């Protein structure tokens, strides 16, 4: 009916940041310590209900390995939402996330709902990226920001529900 919509959502970020793990946690409620690195991209769909509306996410989980970078525009083109993921224990992954944000700002859909997600929030003892630093960067760039853990499920459903709400308003 009129209250059912679908939305293309893409995950981008460095290899090993936990994109696939976040999607598997959200879609299947699963987590694997030895998650395989994604080749090319993987597709998932999941429907969320918000009051009278259902939103079907068509999720593209992209591969973070550099050799797949050139494929990324196929996945973010026409996307209603993007999650740029980094690993809070890796400064390199945070810097890579900033590059993705720049690329999306230049070449992505201008109405795209963008979220910066600091994943592996369970690994506090190994933290390299301070929450305040990431929050400040997100605010400067007009992004929503959240820290998640695919392992413990912290904030994973919250992240997708928040995106659904913002996509419906956009």
Residue 148, SS3 per DSSP: coil
Which positions ≥6 away from 87 have C-beta within 8 Å? 14, 16, 17, 18, 93, 118, 119, 120
Q: Which does 65 bind (CB under 5 to 8 A by kind): ligand GTP, Mg ion, none?
A: ligand GTP
Q: Which does 8 bind (CB under 5 to 8 A by kind): ligand GTP, Mg ion, none?
A: none
Which positions ≥6 away from 135 have C-beta within 8 Å? 145
Residue 79, SS3 per DSSP: coil
Q: Which does 93 bind (CB under 5 to 8 A by kind): Mg ion, ligand GTP, none?
A: none
Cβ-based nearer residue to ligand GTP, 13 or 108 = 13
Cβ-based nearer residue to Mg ion, 59 or 164 = 59
CA distances from 53 to 1, 46, 112 (A): 9, 14, 20
Residues in touch with ligand GTP (CB under 6 A): 13, 15-21, 32-35, 37-38, 63-65, 119-120, 122-123, 149-151
Residues in touch with Mg ion (CB under 5 A): 19-20, 38
Distance CA 1, CA 17 (A): 37
Cβ-based nearer residue to Mg ion, 55 or 84 = 84
Q: Which does 151 bind (CB under 5 to 8 A by kind): Mg ion, ligand GTP, none?
A: ligand GTP
Going by C-alpha positions, the residue among 54, 37, 33, 53 that lies closest to residue 45 is 54
Yes or no: say if 150 and 119 are a contact pair by the CB < 8 Å rule.
Answer: yes
Least distance between ligand GTP and beta carbon 63 (Å)? 5
Cβ-based nearer residue to Mg ion, 7 or 24 = 24
Q: Shortest Cβ contact with ligand GTP: which residue?
A: 64
């Amino acid at each position: 009916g009129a209250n059912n919509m679908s939305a293309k959502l893409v995950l981008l970020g460095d290899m090993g940041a936990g994109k696939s793990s976040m999607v598997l946690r959200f879609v299947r409620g699963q987590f694997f310590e030895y998650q395989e690195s994604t080749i090319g991209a993987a597709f998932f769909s999941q429907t969320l209900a918000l009051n009278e509306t259902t939103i079907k996410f068509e999720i593209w989980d992209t591969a973070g390995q550099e050799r797949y970078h050139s494929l990324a525009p196929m996945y973010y083109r026409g996307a209603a939402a993007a999650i740029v993921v980094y690993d809070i224990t890796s400064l390199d992954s945070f810097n890579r996330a900033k590059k993705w944000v720049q690329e999306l700002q230049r070449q992505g859909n201008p109405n795209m709902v963008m979220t910066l997600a600091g994943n592996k929030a369970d690994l506090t003892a190994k933290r390299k990226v301070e929450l305040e630093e990431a929050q400040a960067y997100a605010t400067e760039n007009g992004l929503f920001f959240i820290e998640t853990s695919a392992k413990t499920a912290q904030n994973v459903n919250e992240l997708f529900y928040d995106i659904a709400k913002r996509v419906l308003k956009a």
